[in-house]
Amino acid sequence: MLIASLDNVSEDIKPLTEILNHPDLALSALINTPPGKYSVQGQEWFYIVSEGETKPGTGHYPEFHQRYGDIQLVISGTETIYFRTTPPDAEEYRTPPAATDLYFLEHSPTNGSVVLNQGEFIVFYPGEIHKPMCHTAGRANSVKKLVVKFPYPRQE
């Protein structure tokens, strides 16, 4: 997991900076990008722009992915993302994948959280449990966000 801001992205994370420096992903461009799923010619990664209201932390299930990592960036608004620093156990899966490479956990306590504001992002690698789009300070917020899905070999 990695937490950062577009204002201070380090060269130490070069593959991620190459994605984040793509012109389509500039914050000034994303503000005007309508919700939807987008691919970039010649790239293995793709991105999703979404808008929505945050929910209480108890209002939905934590998730994880096995093949793709997520870069979750707030375009506008504020959200809290809960996470867990230990990997999921097979018996925790709530259901088979609801969508390609999306797994939900029914009874999976989280042990940390981060509040993201405009231009801030967090990276989750495969197997890292996270619960995005949660209320901040007990209040609902309107959020426009970017999720970049990038292929990443799973660490065994």
Q: What is the tens place of the pLDDT at every residue in 74-117?
A: 999 999 999 998 888 776 666 565 567 888 887 778 889 999 99
Q: What's the confidence (pLDDT) of residue 156?
A: 41
Q: What is the tens place of the pLDDT at every residue in 114-138?
A: 999 999 999 999 999 999 999 999 9
- C-alpha distances (whole Å) from 141 to each of 7, 36, 43, 80 are 23, 20, 32, 10
Q: Is 93 helix (H, G, I), strand (E, B) or coil?
A: strand
Q: What's the chain's length in residues?
A: 156
Q: Is 114 helix (H, G, I), strand (E, B) or coil?
A: strand
Query: Environment class of residue 96 by beta-carbon count within 10 Å: exposed (0-12), middle (13-18) or buried (19+)?
Result: exposed
Across 11-24, average pLDDT: 83
Query: In the block, which residue shows the tokens 């994303």?
Result: 30
User: Does residue 14 surpass a pLDDT of 80?
Assistant: no
Asked if the 2-151 domain carries CATH number 1.10.645.10, the reply is: no
Q: How far apart are CA 116 and CA 104, in angstroms?
A: 22
